[in-house]
Amino acid sequence: MENKKNILQDSFGRQHTYLRISLTELCNLRCTYCMPAEGIQLSPRSHIMSYDEVFEIAKTFVDHGVTKIRLTGGEPLVRRDADVILKKLATLPVELSITSNAVIIDRFIDVLKECNVRSINVSLDSLDAVKFKEITRRNDFEKVYKNIMLLINEGFNVKLNAVLINGFNDNEIIDFIEFTKELPISVRFIEFMPFDGNQWDKAKMVSYAQVMEYVNSNYDVDKVIRMQDAPNDTSKNYKIEGYKGSFAIISSVTNPFCDSCNRIRLTANGRLKNCLFSSSESDLLTPLREGKSIETIIQKAVQAKLKVRGGMDTMEKLEQPDLHGKNRSMIAIGG
Ligand code: SAM
Ligand code: SF4
């Protein structure tokens, strides 16, 4: 086999094997922490990658060592050709997975199975229908709940993502953990992160330490089991003894996991982001459309990756709105 240049290793020796592809900037929900109330400036349709372009760019990454691809968005499943993209990507030698709000995922069960998608991350920030409506600005709790049960019954490996917001859903931490008693799912509590237009405030964030305070005051210490985290895992995993499922905390704010980061992101308009928190982007789509090679651009973007959170290496920097204001909204990055 031809000996290829290692274009996916950064200057800190981190090898990037995990590509997250945003398929669309559109969404059928309007989560307050993700999408600004006034909406976002959408890219013109012609600037969004076609399914062939998604495939071509993904294939370049796979040829250079990417072994895992996760589809995200916006809501990846609202894209009309989401099934075509899934089927094309399934021909690559990668582990294919998806992050979805699950509102319409029942329509995709067969295609997800056909494409060998095993792991599905579903966003669910509240187990209460009224609060769900408040945070998503849509009335779809019943559909999402039913679809989560459907995914579990169909044998998918389901992880629920809950962004915790102080005074809003922190009082549901134990309800979520109790949800894992009979269900073989992992509930992942995510620290609220700052992005353009989401009115981030440190006081709204519920930290890893705070989650563990709730846990330790509700369960006997010897019943709370710290599990082995997978390599490059962004979450600290736990389970309550005897429960079928587990829970985890993703602490990007208070305890970043940048040292072992293996992720790189492609936005729906074909820009490469070397870090979720970085405001710089590299356009891959224009050169691809001009028939040029994108490998050098990928290599430069990976090389330019900073050590911690796109340069926001301290809490002080994270708290400066002008720094995260330069980044996109999460809906346009692809979480
Ligand atoms: N629409 C899909 C969904 O909601 O699962 C996929 C895209 S969404 C941007 C991906 C993930 O990013 C979701 O789990 C969501 O909760 C998370 N997310 C969005 N904004 C966030 C923020 N400000 N802080 C932490 N997580 C956030
Ligand atoms: Fe849509 Fe997901 Fe963002 Fe909610 S978190 S607005 S479901 S993209």
Domains of the chain: 2-333 (3.20.20.70)
To test the ligand 2 pocket, which listed residue (75, 105, 147, 161) has its Cβ within 8 A of the most ligand atoms?
Answer: 75
C-alpha of 28 from chain center: 17
At 2 the pLDDT is: 46
Ligand 2 atom with the smallest distance to the CA of 136 is 4
pLDDT under 50: residue ranges of the chain:
1-3
Establish whether residue 123 lines the binding site of ligand 2, counting it when its CB lies within 6 angstroms of any ligand atom: yes
* CA of 253, nearest ligand number: 1
At 323 the pLDDT is: 63
* CA of 105, nearest ligand number: 1
> pLDDT of 132-168, one tens digit each?
999 999 999 999 999 999 999 999 999 999 999 999 9
Closest Cα to atom 17 of ligand 1: 335
At 5 the pLDDT is: 74
At 4 the pLDDT is: 64
C-alpha of 45 from chain center: 23
Concatenating the DSSP letter of every residue in 91-106 gives TSSSEEEEEE--SSGG
Closest Cα to atom 9 of ligand 1: 335
First-to-last alpha carbon distance for the chain, in angstroms, is: 35
Closest Cα to atom 4 of ligand 2: 31
Ligand 1 atom with the smallest distance to the CA of 73 is 7
Identity of residue 88: K
To test the ligand 1 pocket, which listed residue (28, 123, 141, 176) has its Cβ within 8 A of the most ligand atoms?
Answer: 123
pTM of the predicted structure, to 2 decimals: 0.93
Establish whether residue 101 lines the binding site of ligand 2, counting it when its CB lies within 6 angstroms of any ligand atom: yes
Establish whether residue 268 lines the binding site of ligand 2, counting it when its CB lies within 6 angstroms of any ligand atom: no
DSSP assignment, residue 90?
Answer: T
Ligand 1 proximal residues by C-beta, below 6 Å = 27, 33-34, 72-73, 75, 99-101, 123, 161, 163, 190, 192-193, 195, 198, 330-331, 335
At 11 the pLDDT is: 93
At 328 the pLDDT is: 64
Give the three-class secondary structure for 52: helix
CA dihedral 303→251→150→137, nearest 10 degrees, is -100
> pLDDT of 243-286, one tens digit each?
999 999 999 888 777 888 999 999 999 999 999 888 889 999 99
Return the residue matching tokens 């609060």: 131
